[in-house]
Amino acid sequence: MTLKVMNIDPSLCFVANTWVPALSAQTLSLGNPSDGSTICEIARGNADDIACAVGAAEAALVGEWGQMPAFERGRILTRIGTEVLKNINELTTLESMDVGKPTKQARADVIALARYMEFYGGAADKIHGETIPFQDGYTVYTLREPHGVTGHIVPWNYPMQIIGRSVGAALAMGNACVLKPAEEACLTALAFAEICKQAGLPDGALNVVPGLGAEAGAALTAHPSVHHVSFTGSVGVGKMIQSSSAQNAVPVTLELGGKSPQLVFDDADLDAALPFLVNAGIQNAGQTCSASSRILVQRGVYDQVVARMATAYAKLRVGPASDDLELGPLISQRQKDIVQGFIDQGADLRCAATGQIMGNAPGTGAYIAPTLFADVPPDHMLAQQEIFGPVQVVIPFEDEDDAIAIANGTDFGLVASVWTANGARQMRLAKRLRAGQVFLNNYGAAGGVELPFGGVGLSGHGREKGFEALYGFSTLKTVAALHG
Ligand code: NAD
């Protein structure tokens, strides 16, 4: 099966605004998680392709792109956002098919991509240096400058959102980007490149090389002319990338996994909390770095919360992405096996409820029923390790100290939320929780492109999203003039 993405051939790489075959002359098959079929072939880029893409990015920095004023970069990004929205139907279809995302969720990701382009388009000319009062006879000021060539390694779970937040911010600051999308899902990365070209992004400002992580990805992080690496993916690969980038002494932003808790106190508004407790665990079939996989509930409402979550779980339906149910398939059979392995490890636990796989879900798809475990000891592996599937554990707690000890008791620290009517408690816990984002009486703030995002501990370091990302994707030069 072949597929034309926005009239481009998806088996090609995008280098200097031109569609070219991989120098390896090899391709990889892209699978459809809903039925296991092959969607199309994609390029299997290698180190030579990465070298070409980095060369194109370097040329962009000394060419039109590098000389473009910030406001003009902003205009182009804003235009890209507009074009993304004009192509919302095709992008939704591609993402839904490629990732196995229910259509509504894929559509929300397109809108998020457009929002990132609008946000960073507007921000491009709003990051300034400072003048610094110094000794008599000096004038001192700072210049905020792009790193140069930035490498972007993106996973399969939210391709458009992650491209938006990292490539959008990097372009806004005037970097030239080389993007290595995931081998499991890269169609919207290719479509996005074509949209950027059509919106007027100059040659080489964005280059896209699909391929395997160990080949194209590793070559990108090791390339001596890449000056910053942004990685979103697993902890193991993140550590490798940090080591690789250390050889060139370049900064990395690591957005890794999580085991994010929601803390529900006796005084919480349970009607408000319930949809968030469940949705934050099963959205994108649980394949979300900031999925809430641990629900911590105070004793007074514990039984009630477990019962209400179980009722909600029993109504969850799993089926092909195009059926637009609550859950689609997982990304692959491999991911399904991993998640099933975790569920099997819960054989000794109380399974409070499962959702149901619909009868029309093909046996060749990677379907798994969402599963809710209750009364889970905080040190159980299901309460400690990232599952990256639709599995949540419910854990009882006694008081604030107990809740904090459990919430902070994993190696991760991405996001957390607190459900309580007590304002003083909200403030206390927001400070005590070890996480990059804390939500009070909500979860996720609807994605919030404006809100800095990133983790502590094994969840990674560096911040993307919001203005904070613009500092990460730039470097500061201090100029001291002695003029007497
Ligand atoms: P992964 O780490 O296997 O792959 C992510 C990307 O890294 C892919 O593009 C892959 O090709 C590339 N890659 C793999 N090996 C590489 C190497 N040696 N050198 C360079 N690049 C390499 O992760 P995954 O399985 O695609 O995604 C799932 C994981 O990602 C989960 O653990 C999840 O928590 C994490 N994740 C985190 C966030 C976040 O924002 N914190 C977002 C999405 C996913």
Atom of ligand 1 nearest to the CA of 184: 26
Compute, in angstroms, the gap from residue 236 CA to the centroid of ligand 1: 9
Compute, in angstroms, the gap from residue 232 CA to the centroid of ligand 1: 5
Of 237, 288, 414, best ligand 1 pocket probe by most atoms within 8 Å of the beta carbon: 237
pLDDT value, residue 2? 66
Contact 99, 149 (CB under 8 A): no
Q: Kindly report the protein residue whose alpha carbon is nearest to atom 35 of ligand 1.
A: 233
Compute, in angstroms, the gap from residue 382 CA to the centroid of ligand 1: 21
**In a structure prediction context, what are the per-residue pLDDT tens digits for the chain, which is 484 residues long?**
667 888 999 999 999 999 999 999 999 999 999 999 999 999 999 999 999 999 999 999 999 999 999 999 999 999 999 999 999 999 999 999 999 999 999 999 999 999 999 999 999 999 999 999 999 999 999 999 999 999 999 999 999 999 999 999 999 999 999 999 999 999 999 999 999 999 999 999 999 999 999 999 999 999 999 999 999 999 999 999 999 999 999 999 999 999 999 999 999 999 999 999 999 999 999 999 999 999 999 999 999 999 999 999 999 999 999 999 999 999 999 999 999 999 999 999 999 999 999 999 999 999 999 999 999 999 999 999 999 999 999 999 999 999 999 999 999 999 999 999 999 999 999 999 999 999 999 999 989 999 999 999 999 999 999 999 999 999 999 999 999 9
Selected catalytic residue, list 13, 40, 196, 289: 289
d(CA 327, CA 345): 22
Of 30, 153, 463, best ligand 1 pocket probe by most atoms within 8 Å of the beta carbon: 153
Compute, in angstroms, the gap from residue 422 CA to the centroid of ligand 1: 38
Pocket around ligand 1: residues whose beta carbon is below 6 Å from it? Answer: 153-157, 180, 182-183, 213-214, 217-218, 221, 232-234, 237, 240-241, 255-257, 289, 386, 388, 460
Q: Are strands 138-146 and 131-132 parallel, antiparallel or unpaired?
A: antiparallel
Compute, in angstroms, the gap from residue 368 CA to the centroid of ligand 1: 21
Of 232, 240, 241, 287, best ligand 1 pocket probe by most atoms within 8 Å of the beta carbon: 232
Q: Which domains does the chain have, with CATH numbers?
A: 12-256+461-478 (3.40.605.10), 261-448 (3.40.309.10)
Q: Tell me, yes or no, if 289 is annotated catalytic.
A: yes
Q: Kindly report the protein residue whose alpha carbon is nearest to atom 32 of ligand 1.
A: 234
Q: Kindly report the protein residue whose alpha carbon is nearest to atom 43 of ligand 1.
A: 289
Q: Tell me, yes or no, if 196 is annotated catalytic.
A: no
pLDDT value, residue 6? 86
Selected catalytic residue, list 184, 255, 326, 464: 255
Compute, in angstroms, the gap from residue 252 CA to the centroid of ligand 1: 14
